[in-house]
Amino acid sequence: MVVLDGKETSAKIRQELALKVKELKAQGRKVPHLAAILVGEDGASRTYVNAKVRDCEEVGFGSTLIKLPAETTEAELLKAIGKLNHDEDIDGYIVQLPLPKHIDETKILLAVDPRKDVDGFHPQNVGKMTLNLPTYIPATPQGIVELLRRYEVPTEGKNCVVIGRSNIVGSPMSILLSQHNYPGNCTVTLCHSRTRDLEEICRNADIIVAALGRPGFVTADMVKEGACVIDVGITRIDDSSKKSGFRLLGDVDFDAVAPKCSFITPVPGGVGPMTRAALMMNTMKVTELED
């Protein structure tokens, strides 16, 4: 059983990107500049955005963080997005989700300039991804694909089950793994809350991608011997014994499932760090797509 170490792999990616930044500087070219908009004081979002700022500093990217209060109106947020769309110094930016309930997330994502949409959520970029054209791929699916590639996980001809159909993870993951690429060439089954006989479907899977946000949902009896299991879920559970006051659980019962697996990601330290690394990769891709 091999643990797919996202923490170690993401560190290597940041080192590689730092070298590319040095090359850009040596050539007199512009260094990518990533911006982020954070609306409100959601703890997980704030932690995540601050980590992205640190990643930019480590890699050598320019970085801008725009903090807006929770009571920011939709019109005010759209105005901030418009400024970033027209700011030639900003190469890419993200609007951190989730947004306050009074703001229409779809309307906001549609307002982002597709050329600066390093989150890969704009329909134009989703369409390009579906057609296997050069574009920005959503960070979590791209991070997973990169982890599979670097660990040389066999995917061709494999039966893959993706649990969860979100536009951020499940749906793009199913598309990427079915494409004529490596990693890819899988036969993919996309499952969700209405799927019947989910346990039996999972038992026939060579690869399981669990992305539904339910701690410990995937149990040992759902996984066949030798399967590769990718745990995307991450849920905070109160735990007074921890200094932070909480612990993180994935969608997979790791201790029970791991002994049956050929490859498995841990939580934390698996997919999470790769999501951030993929965002850095997308930001560097700005220079490639402009060439």
Residue 133 located in a structural domain: no
Contacts of 144 (CB under 8 A, 6+ apart): 173, 209, 230, 232, 271, 274
**What span, in angstroms and rounded, lies between the C-alpha atoms of 159 and 44?**
34
Residue 291 falls inside a structural domain = no
Q: Is 198 a member of any domain? A: yes
CATH number at residue 181: 3.40.50.720
> What's the CATH number where 35 sits?
3.40.50.10860
Verify that 51 and 160 share a domain, yes or no: no
Dump pLDDT digits (tens) for 178-232: 999 999 999 999 999 899 999 999 999 999 999 999 999 999 999 999 999 999 9
Is residue 52 part of the annotated active site? The answer reads yes
The answer to whether the Cα torsion of 239, 245, 250, 255 is positive or negative is negative
What is the strand order of the sheet 33-39 is part of? 62-68, 33-39, 92-95
Q: Which residue range is the domain that position 84 belongs to? A: 28-113
Kindly state whether residues 99 and 219 are assigned to the same domain.
Answer: no
| Shared domain check, 222 and 184 | yes
Q: Which of 55, 91, 96, 251 is catalytic?
A: 96
Q: Which residues of the chain have pLDDT under 70?
A: 290-291
Catalytic one of 91, 117, 119, 251: 119
Catalytic residue check, 30: no
For residue 291, the model assigns a pLDDT of 56
249 and 150 within one domain: yes
Whether residue 262 sits in one domain with residue 156: yes
Burial (CB count <10 Å: 0-12, 13-18, 19+), residue 207: buried
Q: Do residues 69 and 148 both lie within one domain? A: no
Last residue of a domain, one of 113, 129, 159: 113
Q: What percent of the chain is predicted at pLDDT more than 70?
A: 99
In the numeric block, which tokens belong to residue 224? 């066949």
Q: What is the pLDDT of residue 208?
A: 98
Is 126 inside any structural domain? no
pLDDT at position 216, please? Answer: 95
Note whether 18 and 59 are within 8 A (CB).
yes
Overall number of domains in the chain: 2
Residue 106 lies inside a defined structural domain of this protein: yes
119 is catalytic: yes
Domain assignment of residue 143, yes or no: yes
Helix axis angle, 170-178 to 123-130, nearest 10°: 30
Q: Tell me: do 80 and 197 sit in the same domain.
A: no
Asked, for residue 152, whether it belongs to a domain, the answer is yes
Residue owning tokens 């990718």: 230
The three-point CA angle 270-272-277 to 5° equals: 105
Q: Are residues 222 and 168 in the same domain?
A: yes
> Quick one: pLDDT at residue 119?
94
Q: Is residue 16 part of a domain?
A: no
* Strand-pair partners of 264: 3, 229
Residues 96 and 49 placed together within one structural domain of the fold: yes
Shared domain for 93 and 153, answered yes or no, is no
- Whether 75 and 152 map to the same domain: the answer is no
Same domain, 250 and 147: yes
Residue 120 near residue 176 (C-beta atoms within 8 A): no
